[in-house]
Structure 1
Amino acid sequence: MKNIVILGSTGSIGTNALEIIRNKREEFKVLALSGHSNYDLLIEQIEEFSPKYVSIGSEVGYDKITKKFPKLKVFLGREGLKKLGQLLEMDIILISVTGAIGIEATVEAIKLEKRIALANKETMVAGGSYINKLLKKYPKAEIIPVDSEHSAIFQSLLSGKKKDVQNIIITASGGTFRGKSRKDLENIKVSEALKHPNWSMGKKITIDSSTLVNKGLEVIEAHELFGVDYDKIKVIVHPESIVHSLVEFKDGAVIAQLGVTDMKLPIQLAFTYPDRESSLALEHLDLLKIKNLTFEEPDREVFKGLDLAFKAGKIGKSMPTVLNAANEVAVELFMKEEIKFLEIYDIIEEAMKNHTIKDVENLEDILKIDLETRNWVYKNFKK
Structure 2
Amino acid sequence: MTQTVTVLGATGSIGRSTADLLTQHADRFRVGALVGGRDAAALAEVARALKAEFAALADPAGGPALAEALAGSGIPSGAGEGAVMEAVARDADIVVAAVSGAAGLKPTHAALRLGRTVALANKESLVCAGDAFMRDAKRYGATIWPMDSEHDALAQALHGRPLADVRTMMITASGGPFRTWTRERIAAASPTEAAAHPTWSMGMKINIDSASLMNKGLELIEAHHLFGIEPERLDVVVHPQSVIHGMVYWRDGAVTAELALPDMRVPISHCLGLGDRLEIARGRPLDLVKLGALTFEGADEDRFPCLRIARAALADGGAAPTVMNAANEIAVAAFIAGRIGFYGIADLVERAVTHFAGLHRAAPADVEEALAIDAEVRAWSAQALPELRAAG
User: What TM-score range do you get, normalising by the shorter chain?
Assistant: over 0.9
Asked if 1:378 corresponds to 2:382, the answer is yes
**What residue identity is the alignment partner of 1:61?**
G
* Pairing 1:39-118 to 2, within 5 Å after superposition: 39-69=40-70, 72-87=75-90, 89-118=91-120
Q: Report the Cα offset of residue 67 of structure 1.
A: 2.7
TM-score, normalising length: structure 1: 0.96
Identify if the C-alpha distance between structure 1 residues 79 and 337 changes in structure 2 by more than 3 Å, giving closer, same or farther.
farther
User: In the alignment, is the contact (CA less than 8 A) between 1:215 and 1:306 conserved in 2?
Assistant: yes
Structure 2 CA distance, aligned partners of 1:211 and 1:187?
A: 13
Corresponding residue number in structure 2 for 1:121: 123
Q: Report the Cα offset of residue 338 of structure 1.
A: 1.0
Corresponding residue number in structure 2 for 1:154: 155
Q: Report the Cα offset of residue 16 of structure 1.
A: 0.5
Corresponding residue number in structure 1 for 2:366: 362
Q: Report the Cα offset of residue 79 of structure 1.
A: 4.2
TM-score, normalising length: structure 2: 0.94
1:81 aligns to what SS in structure 2?
Answer: helix
Which range is displaced more, 167-176 or 32-41?
Answer: 32-41
Identify if the C-alpha distance between structure 1 residues 2 and 282 changes in structure 2 by more than 3 Å, giving closer, same or farther.
farther
Asked if 1:132 corresponds to 2:122, the answer is no
Corresponding residue number in structure 1 for 2:230: 229
2:184 aligns to what SS in structure 1?
Answer: coil
**What residue identity is the alignment partner of 2:196?**
K
Structure 2 CA distance, aligned partners of 1:274 and 1:208?
A: 29
Identify if the C-alpha distance between structure 1 residues 313 and 354 changes in structure 2 by more than 3 Å, giving closer, same or farther.
same
1:185 aligns to what SS in structure 2?
Answer: helix
Gaps of 5+ in 1: none
Q: Report the Cα offset of residue 59 of structure 1.
A: 4.4
Task: State the superposition RMSD in angstroms.
Answer: 1.5
Q: Report the Cα offset of residue 159 of structure 1.
A: 6.3
**What residue identity is the alignment partner of 1:379?**
Q
Corresponding residue number in structure 1 for 2:255: 254
User: In the alignment, is the contact (CA less than 8 A) between 1:10 and 1:41 conserved in 2?
Assistant: yes
Q: Report the Cα offset of residue 155 of structure 1.
A: 0.6
Identity %: 36
1:75 aligns to what SS in structure 2?
Answer: strand
User: In the alignment, is the contact (CA less than 8 A) between 1:20 and 1:281 conserved in 2?
Assistant: no
User: In the alignment, is the contact (CA less than 8 A) between 1:23 and 1:281 conserved in 2?
Assistant: no
**What residue identity is the alignment partner of 1:75?**
G
**What residue identity is the alignment partner of 1:277?**
L
**What residue identity is the alignment partner of 2:110?**
E
User: In the alignment, is the contact (CA less than 8 A) between 2:58 and 2:79 conserved in 1?
Assistant: yes
* Pairing 1:182-261 to 2, within 5 Å after superposition: 182-261=183-262
User: In the alignment, is the contact (CA less than 8 A) between 2:41 and 2:66 conserved in 1?
Assistant: no
User: In the alignment, is the contact (CA less than 8 A) between 1:152 and 1:246 conserved in 2?
Assistant: yes
Structure 1 CA distance, aligned partners of 2:83 and 2:383?
A: 28
Which range is displaced more, 240-249 or 276-285?
Answer: 276-285
* Pairing 1:298-317 to 2, within 5 Å after superposition: 298-317=299-318
**What residue identity is the alignment partner of 2:226?**
L
Structure 2 CA distance, aligned partners of 1:118 and 1:308?
A: 24
1:285 aligns to what SS in structure 2?
Answer: coil
Structure 2 CA distance, aligned partners of 1:291 and 1:80?
A: 50
User: In the alignment, is the contact (CA less than 8 A) between 2:41 and 2:69 conserved in 1?
Assistant: no
Structure 1 CA distance, aligned partners of 2:246 and 2:335?
A: 29
Which range is displaced more, 342-351 or 354-363?
Answer: 354-363
Structure 2 CA distance, aligned partners of 1:24 and 1:156?
A: 26
How many pairs does the alignment contain? Answer: 381
Gaps of 5+ in 2: none
Structure 2 CA distance, aligned partners of 1:77 and 1:344?
A: 30
Which range is displaced more, 252-261 or 272-281?
Answer: 272-281
Structure 1 CA distance, aligned partners of 2:85 and 2:313?
A: 28
Offset from partner CA, 1:92-144 (integer Å, 9 cap, x none)? 111111101111112111121111001111011001000011022123x1110
Q: Which runs of 4+ in 1 moved over 6 A?
A: none
**What residue identity is the alignment partner of 2:30?**
K
2:78 aligns to what SS in structure 1?
Answer: strand
